[in-house]
Structure 1
Amino acid sequence: LVVGFATQNVLSQAVAGMFILLARPFRIGDVVDVAGESEVVVEDIGSMFTVARRKDGLLVLIPSSMIVGQKIVIRSRAS
């Protein structure tokens, strides 16, 4: 049961990550509000996590499943 739940979670993360990689709602370098984080700079977009840097310099790993289906505010686009 535990293995099944863990596998389901990993698969849902991977599917969400693939959606983000294909749909490209934001790009590396964009400043966005997403998953409860405000004005973060997107540093990397992967299949499991998006890595963003907060204003205080800390890196935040945002699980892909927290991004899909949520509102994303793009404050500025990378050039």
Structure 2
Amino acid sequence: MPLEKLNAKMLLPTKYRFYSLKGNLTTPPCTENVQWIILDNPATASAEQIKKLRELFHNNNARTLQDSNNREITFTK
């Protein structure tokens, strides 16, 4: 499927809960003010699917896990 035709909503469960926080990108230039959405019950992907995503986007995380630095983390039901 061409990336232009990808409907990311199709990857999500019909009902989900998530955490939300402001942070930075994990790849240079590590831009600030990014809104992160983290599913409470993460979706799964096979090793082959992850490989294909990496081929499409050509990047990996460049940063180690960071402290929250007192950022507000909200939980949505």
Report the structure number with the largest CA radius of gyration.
2
Structure with more helix by fraction: 1
Q: Which has the higher contact order (CA 8 A, sep 6+)?
A: 2
**Fold conserved (TM > 0.5)?**
no
TM-score normalised over the length of structure 2: 0.28
Structure with more strand by fraction: 1
